[in-house]
A and B are shown apart, each in its own frame.
Chain A
Amino acid sequence: MCLAIPSKIVSINGKKGIVDMGGIKKEVGLDFIPEAKIGNWILLHTGFGLEIISEKDALETIEAINEAYHVMPDEY
């Protein structure tokens, strides 16, 4: 039930934003992430943005994991 979906903010009007979920546009509450900006990827749960997803952290995490397990970046 705590499933939350990454979505991209395409517009903001006050504390409401519109996100793009794979082509579907949906209004969401940005009350818990007032610092969110257009273009941010956010974690969406029951109509509310819960956190801004850090693409930088995502890249750093996978780089660190690949390094720890000796996987080359292009090794698939």
Chain B
Amino acid sequence: MKIHINGNIKEFEGRKITAQELAIQLNLNGKRFAIERNGEIIPKTNFDGIYINDGDKIEIIGAVGGG
């Protein structure tokens, strides 16, 4: 399965993956971030319930220094 993540295409095993599993595979567990799937925010409370599929466009964002 190919997913667009932050502008790059990444390959994953299987046909779908939960947001929670994706976060673990990307070494994000324990960090503060938010996920948008095809333009819609996946609430943190639903990371286990929403599936990300082949071709989905994902944005993973966080807070950085800025004025």
Do A and B make up one complex? no
